[in-house]
């Protein structure tokens, strides 16, 4: 295990040298040294605090303990593994400006941190495929989601990416005969030398490609579901508006007829006011009946305004005798069930949008890293290391954005914000 370990960096210019001059690849001259120290400190602080807050919030708030959030917890653990291994590694190299040992006896800590970083980094990429599948089932099959995302299936969605990662990152280089490691300054890590070197890097890039294909499939299906829901919503809105307009027209016509009858009865009463005492009593009874009729019509029009359908007929006696009962019966049952489903769909879409932002950040931040890996696997260290060193260091540092950006994206989710604030109040 760990045979033929060396600190020499292979290349044409050091083929006969005992120790390779690695100083040009460390980039610790000012101001790049200070910038890298600042960047590593920011990544460690935000990554540790943010991902720890995610784990504590989801584990403490019962409403957030869902299968999808369980997958996000594994992603937070992987991000923690990255920042606590790569960040101190980079700071130590920038301050000490010394080569790191990649030998199993002298550099056991360096080798351990190296494997911790690779495991967390590539597992965080592979788990994105599982998270995409979870969001696809959550949006497109909401009624069957609880039966699809069981505890067993959730565990499988975590175990499969982890086994693929640990096999490729740890088992292949450790147990392969004739393999070895050397310190590679651009990546601030121990790099593998062995017969399976290119195959291992090709496998890492293949996993990245498979994850991208899963993302494209899942979010294309989600996009189609969104379009279907939007088309259904467009069909429902004109029908609801037309029914409301017809109801208001009926109520307006009834109100006008009531006002006309009221004014005509009052006018006839004023003309016959001086006729006789008998006609005066008859007129007062007629006015009282007309007033009662007007009140009934006004209450009926109020019922229409509160959401009653135009075709519904309300008994006048019941409306007059028990107005509280009528107000209970006239509660907004007007909103159809499909509009309620539409609001639930919007909530699911907001959650999916948050996860899509997480996946998009991962795709953008890891793309340069996998590009330089692909170039190294194609051309070899002998060609790539002398010309691509600055880009390799940039790709490594740029990929750390994904380790601390997720908690910031999660703050878009209102239940998560409320759960985090509730957790802080309980701690205080």
Q: Which of 277, 129, 155, 327 is nearest to 212 (CA)?
A: 129
pTM of the model: 0.69
Q: With the CA atoms of 47, 48, 52 and 53 taken in that order, what torsion angle do they form, in degrees rounded to the nearest 10?
A: -60
Non-local CB neighbours of 36 within 8 Å, separated by 6+ positions: 27, 28, 90, 94, 397
Chunked mean pLDDT (size 10), the chain, 428 residues: 40 38 59 88 94 92 89 94 91 80 69 89 92 91 91 95 91 74 82 78 85 91 84 69 55 53 48 45 47 47 44 40 43 48 66 80 87 75 64 89 91 85 74
- pLDDT of the residue at 177: 66
> Distance between CA atoms of 274 and 217, rounded to whole angstroms?
88
Number of other residues whose CB lies within 10 A of the CB of residue 101: 18
338 exposure class (CB count in 10 Å sphere: 0-12, 13-18, 19+): middle
Give the DSSP per-residue string, 150-161: -HHHHHHHHHHH
From its phi and psi, is residue 276 left (phi > 0), alpha (psi between -120 and 50) or beta?
A: beta
- pLDDT of the residue at 25: 53
* Dihedral pair phi/psi, residue 89, rounded to 5°: -55, -50
Q: Which of 127, 105, 51, 60 is nearest to 82 (CA)?
A: 51
Query: Structure tokens of 227?
Result: 């379009």
- pLDDT of the residue at 380: 64
Query: 191 by DSSP, 3-state: which?
Result: strand
- pLDDT of the residue at 204: 83
Output b/e per residue, 160-187; b: 16+ Cβ within 10 A. Answer: ebbebbbebbeebbeebeebbbbbbbbb
Residue entry with tokens 């279907």:
228
- pLDDT of the residue at 417: 87
Separation in Å, CA 237 to CA 251, 338, 339, 399: 21, 11, 9, 46
220 exposure class (CB count in 10 Å sphere: 0-12, 13-18, 19+): exposed
């Amino acid at each position: 295990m760990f045979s033929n370990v060396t600190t020499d960096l292979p290349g044409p210019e050091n083929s006969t040298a005992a120790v390779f001059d690695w100083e040009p690849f460390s980039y610790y001259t000012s101001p790049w040294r200070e910038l890298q120290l600042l960047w590593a400190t920011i990544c460690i602080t935000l990554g540790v605090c943010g991902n720890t807050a995610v784990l504590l919030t989801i584990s403490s708030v019962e409403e957030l303990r869902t299968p999808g959030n369980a997958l996000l917890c594994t992603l937070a653990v992987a991000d923690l593994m990255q920042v606590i291994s790569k960040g101190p590694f980079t700071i130590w190299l920038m301050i000490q400006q010394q080569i790191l040992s990649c030998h199993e006896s002298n550099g056991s800590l360096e080798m351990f941190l190296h494997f911790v970083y690779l495991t967390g980094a590539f597992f965080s990429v592979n788990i994105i495929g599982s998270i995409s599948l979870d969001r696809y089932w959550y949006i497109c099959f909401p009624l069957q989601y609880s039966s699809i995302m069981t505890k067993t299936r959730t565990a499988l969605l975590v175990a499969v990416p982890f086994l693929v990662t640990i096999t490729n990152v740890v088992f292949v280089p450790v147990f392969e005969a004739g393999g070895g490691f050397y310190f590679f300054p651009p990546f601030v890590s121990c790099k593998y030398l062995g017969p399976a070197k290119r195959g291992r890097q090709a496998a890492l890039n293949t996993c990245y490609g498979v994850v991208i294909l899963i993302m494209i499939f899942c979010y294309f299906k989600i996009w189609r579901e969104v379009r279907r829901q939007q088309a259904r919503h467009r069909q429902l809105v004109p029908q609801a508006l037309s029914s409301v307009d017809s109801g208001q027209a009926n109520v307006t016509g009834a109100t006008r007829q009531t006002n006309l009858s009221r004014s005509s009865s009052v006018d006839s009463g004023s003309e016959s006011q001086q006729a006789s005492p008998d006609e005066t009593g008859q007129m007062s009874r007629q006015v009282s009946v007309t007033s009662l009729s007007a009140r009934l019509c006004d209450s009926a029009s109020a019922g229409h305004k509160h959401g009653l359908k135009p075709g519904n007929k309300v008994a006048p006696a019941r409306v007059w005798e028990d107005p509280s009962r009528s107000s209970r019966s006239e509660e907004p049952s007007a909103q159809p069930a499909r509009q309620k489903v539409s609001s639930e769909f919007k909530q699911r879409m907001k959650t999916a949008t948050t996860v899509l932002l997480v996946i998009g950040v991962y795709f953008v931040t890891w793309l340069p890293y996998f590009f330089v890996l692909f170039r190294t696997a194609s051309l070899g260290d002998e060609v790539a290391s002398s010309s691509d060193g600055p880009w390799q260091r940039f790709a490594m540092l740029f990929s750390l954005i994904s380790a601390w950006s997720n908690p910031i994206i999660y703050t878009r989710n209102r239940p998560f914000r409320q759960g985090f604030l509730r957790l802080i109040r309980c701690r205080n």
